[in-house]
C-alpha cells in the first residue's frame, strides 16, 4: 500500500472532519498519533476498503495509472495517424510542405488555443469554470471511484487535494502538453521508420508565391534547425525540388528528410516538452507551498497545544514556574459587561456565570439553538462566551463563520479557569476568521 505524506493525510482528515462524521481522536498525544486514525478499520457496507488511507492510496495509484494509459493511447493514435499523411503519387513524390502541415497543423492550432485560454483564464482569475480537459478527467475520476466502491468523501478529498482551484489550470495544461508530446513523439518515430523503409522524393509547388519567396520561407524555417548540426537543403536543392523537375538526387532526398525530421523535433516536440516541464513545475510548486485550510490549521493547533501542555505537565524539575497560558491570559483585556447586551454561551455545560445575570444570555450548544440565536444578532452588539477548556472543531468553524456573516462586530470572550488549555487555539481561530481580538470574562 502506498504510504501517504503527512500533509496529504492532514488534508484528508480535515476534509473528512468538515464533510462527514469522522473526527480525529481528541486523546491523541500529537498529530502523528491522531492521523493514525485514518489507518484504522471502520465498518461501511458501501465500500470495499476498510481504511480511509487505504482508499485514498488506491485512488492515487489509479490516478497515476490512468495518466500513463492516457499517454499510451495518444502515442498509439500518433502511430496510426502518421502513415496517412504520407500520400504519394505514382512517381513516389510527396509535397514537403503539405506533409509538414498535416503533421504539425493540428498540434500548432491546439498550442495557440492553449495560449489564448491561458490569457483568458488569467484575465478571469475569479472564474469558477474548470478547463474542459480537467472537467473530463474529473468525470472519469468520479466514475472510477464508484467502480472501486470508494467512499464519496474520500474521493472528493483526493480530488480537492489533486486539483485545488488555484492549480486546476496548471494540472490541465500539464495533461494537455503531455498528451500532445506523446502524440508527436509517436509521429516522429513513425516518420523515421517510413523514411528508413521507403524511398520518396520531396517536391513543392505553389501558385501564389514566387520562387524567391518560397526559397526565403524555406531558408527562414531552416535557421533554427541549423543548431542540430544536420545537413539541410541548400538553395540548389530547393530549386531542383519543384514539381516540374522530375529527377532528384539521393543527397537532395536525404537533406529534405533531415529537414522534415528536424522540423518535427524543433517545431513540434521541443515546445511541448518545455511547456510540459514548466507547467508541471508550477503545479508542483503551488502544491508544495499551498496554505493549510482553516480546518487543517484548527487540527494543527489542536494537537500542538496538547503536546505543549503535556510537556509542561511532565516538567522534571517540579518548580512552580509561570506557564505560558497564564502569561497569555494577562495580556488579554477584560470584557466589559453591558446590561441587557446579547450573549451566546457556546458549548457551555456549566452554570451561567454570575457576571452574566443581567444580560440576555442564550445557550448555543446544539444546531437548533444556534439557528435560533443567529437572527437575534442583527443590529445588536453580540458577545460569544466559548468553552476554552476544549479545542474548536469543524462545527465551531462553521458556526463562527455564519455568526461573523450575520454580525461582523461579534466579540469572542474566553473564561479564566485552570482547565482553559486551548486559549491560543481560540485566539488563532479568531484571527483566521478576522474577528475582533478575544477578551476575558470578568472574574466573579
End-to-end Cα separation, the chain, in angstroms = 57
Burial of 192 (0-12, 13-18, 19+ CB in 10 A): middle
Q: What angle do CA 398, 403, 406 make, to 5 degrees?
A: 130
DSSP 204: B
Please indicate, yes or no, if residue 389 is contained in any of the structural domains: yes
Q: Where do we find the cell 448555543?
A: 364
Please indicate, yes or no, if residue 43 is contained in any of the structural domains: no
- Residues 440 and 414: beta-carbon distance below 8 Å: yes
Please indicate, yes or no, if residue 2 is contained in any of the structural domains: no
User: Do residues 76 and 120 share a domain?
Assistant: yes
How large is the C-alpha radius of gyration of the chain? 33
User: Do residues 311 and 345 share a domain?
Assistant: no
User: Do residues 76 and 200 share a domain?
Assistant: yes
User: Do residues 244 and 344 share a domain?
Assistant: no
User: Do residues 333 and 274 share a domain?
Assistant: no
SS3 355: helix
Alpha-helical regions (H) of 86-167 = 96-123, 132-147, 152-162
User: Do residues 127 and 229 share a domain?
Assistant: yes
- DSSP annotation string for 156-192: HHHHHHHS-GGGHHHHHHHHHHHHHHHHHHHHHHHHH
Q: Where do we find the cell 493549510?
A: 292
Q: Where do we find the cell 497569555?
A: 328
Q: Where do we find the cell 435560533?
A: 372
Last residue of a domain, one of 239, 264, 288: 288
Please indicate, yes or no, if residue 359 is contained in any of the structural domains: yes
- Residues 400 and 433: beta-carbon distance below 8 Å: yes
Q: Which residues, in sequence order, are bridge partners of residue 95? A: 203
User: Do residues 311 and 343 share a domain?
Assistant: no
User: Do residues 372 and 413 share a domain?
Assistant: yes
Q: Where do we find the cell 476498503?
A: 49
Mean pLDDT in consecutive groups of 10 residues from the start of the chain, 444 residues: 78 86 79 81 51 87 90 95 79 84 92 88 61 75 83 87 84 93 96 90 82 86 86 84 71 90 94 96 90 83 61 42 41 82 84 82 84 82 85 83 82 77 82 86 79
Strands 382-386 and 360-364, sheet pairing: unpaired
- Sheet containing 411-414: order of strands: 360-364, 342-346, 382-386, 411-414, 439-440
Please indicate, yes or no, if residue 167 is contained in any of the structural domains: yes
The pLDDT value given to residue 71:
94
Q: Where do we find the cell 533554427?
A: 224
User: Do residues 266 and 332 share a domain?
Assistant: no
| Sign of the dihedral defined by the CA atoms of residues 123, 126, 132, 137, in that order | positive
The pLDDT value given to residue 395:
81
SS3 301: helix
User: Do residues 12 and 135 share a domain?
Assistant: no
Count how many domains the chain has. 3
- Residues 272 and 177: beta-carbon distance below 8 Å: yes
- Residue 435, domain CATH: 3.40.50
- Residues 66 and 159: beta-carbon distance below 8 Å: no
- Residues 26 and 70: beta-carbon distance below 8 Å: no
The pLDDT value given to residue 201:
85
Please indicate, yes or no, if residue 44 is contained in any of the structural domains: no
What's the distance, CA 99 to chain centroid?
Answer: 39
Please indicate, yes or no, if residue 159 is contained in any of the structural domains: yes
Tell me which residue of 9, 10, 3 sits closest to 302, measured CA to CA: 10
Please indicate, yes or no, if residue 47 is contained in any of the structural domains: no
- Residues 17 and 38: beta-carbon distance below 8 Å: no
The pLDDT value given to residue 282:
93
User: Do residues 90 and 210 share a domain?
Assistant: yes
Tell me which residue of 388, 373, 386, 387 sits closest to 342, measured CA to CA: 373
User: Do residues 34 and 179 share a domain?
Assistant: no
- DSSP annotation string for 310-336: HHHHT-TT---PPPHHHHHHHHSPBPP
- Domain range for residue 306? 8-38+293-321
The pLDDT value given to residue 416:
78
pTM, two decimals, is 0.66
The pLDDT value given to residue 128:
54
SS3 394: helix
The pLDDT value given to residue 50:
64
Amino acid at each position: 500500500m502506498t504510504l501517504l505524506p503527512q500533509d496529504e493525510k492532514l488534508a484528508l482528515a480535515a476534509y473528512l472532519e468538515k464533510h462527514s462524521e469522522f473526527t480525529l481522536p481528541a486523546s491523541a498525544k500529537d498529530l502523528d498519533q491522531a492521523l493514525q486514525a485514518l489507518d484504522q478499520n471502520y465498518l461501511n457496507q458501501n465500500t470495499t476498503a476498510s481504511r480511509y488511507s487505504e482508499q485514498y492510496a488506491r485512488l492515487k495509484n489509479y490516478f497515476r495509472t490512468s495518466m500513463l494509459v492516457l499517454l499510451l493511447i495518444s502515442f498509439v493514435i500518433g502511430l496510426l495517424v502518421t502513415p496517412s499523411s504520407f500520400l504519394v503519387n505514382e512517381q513516389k513524390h510527396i509535397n514537403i510542405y503539405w506533409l509538414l502541415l498535416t503533421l504539425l497543423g493540428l498540434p500548432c492550432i491546439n498550442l495557440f488555443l492553449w495560449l489564448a485560454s491561458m490569457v483568458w483564464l488569467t484575465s478571469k482569475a475569479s472564474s469558477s469554470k474548470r478547463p474542459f480537459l480537467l472537467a473530463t478527467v474529473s468525470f472519469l475520476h468520479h466514475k472510477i471511484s464508484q467502480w472501486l466502491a470508494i467512499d464519496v468523501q474520500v474521493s472528493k478529498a483526493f480530488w480537492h487535494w489533486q486539483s485545488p482551484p488555484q492549480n486546476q489550470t496548471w494540472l490541465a495544461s500539464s495533461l494537455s502538453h503531455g498528451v500532445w508530446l506523446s502524440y508527436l513523439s509517436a509521429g516522429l518515430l513513425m516518420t523515421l521508420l517510413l523514411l528508413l523503409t521507403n524511398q520518396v522524393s520531396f517536391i513543392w509547388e505553389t501558385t501564389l508565391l514566387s520562387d524567391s519567396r518560397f526559397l526565403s520561407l524555406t531558408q527562414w524555417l531552416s535557421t533554427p534547425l541549423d543548431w542540430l548540426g544536420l545537413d539541410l537543403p541548400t538553395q540548389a536543392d530547393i530549386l531542383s525540388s519543384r514539381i516540374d523537375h522530375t529527377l532528384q538526387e539521393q543527397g537532395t532526398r536525404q537533406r529534405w528528410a533531415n529537414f522534415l525530421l528536424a522540423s518535427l523535433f524543433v517545431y513540434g516536440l521541443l515546445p511541448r516538452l518545455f511547456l510540459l516541464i514548466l507547467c508541471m513545475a508550477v503545479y508542483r510548486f503551488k502544491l508544495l507551498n499551498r496554505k493549510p485550510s482553516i480546518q487543517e490549521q484548527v487540527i494543527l493547533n489542536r494537537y500542538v497545544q496538547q503536546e505543549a501542555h503535556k510537556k509542561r505537565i511532565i516538567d522534571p524539575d517540579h518548580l512552580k514556574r509561570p506557564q505560558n497560558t497564564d502569561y497569555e491570559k494577562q495580556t488579554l483585556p477584560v470584557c466589559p459587561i453591558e446590561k441587557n447586551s446579547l450573549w451566546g454561551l457556546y458549548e457551555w455545560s456549566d452554570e451561567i456565570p454570575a457576571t452574566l445575570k443581567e444580560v440576555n444570555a442564550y445557550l448555543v450548544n446544539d444546531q437548533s439553538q444556534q439557528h435560533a440565536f443567529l437572527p437575534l444578532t442583527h443590529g445588536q452588539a453580540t458577545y460569544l462566551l466559548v468553552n476554552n477548556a476544549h479545542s474548536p472543531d469543524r462545527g465551531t468553524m462553521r458556526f463562527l463563520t455564519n455568526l461573523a456573516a450575520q454580525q461582523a462586530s461579534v466579540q469572542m470572550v474566553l473564561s479564566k479557569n485552570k482547565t482553559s488549555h486551548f486559549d491560543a487555539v481560540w485566539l488563532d481561530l479568531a484571527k483566521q476568521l478576522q474577528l475582533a481580538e478575544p477578551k476575558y470574562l470578568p472574574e466573579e
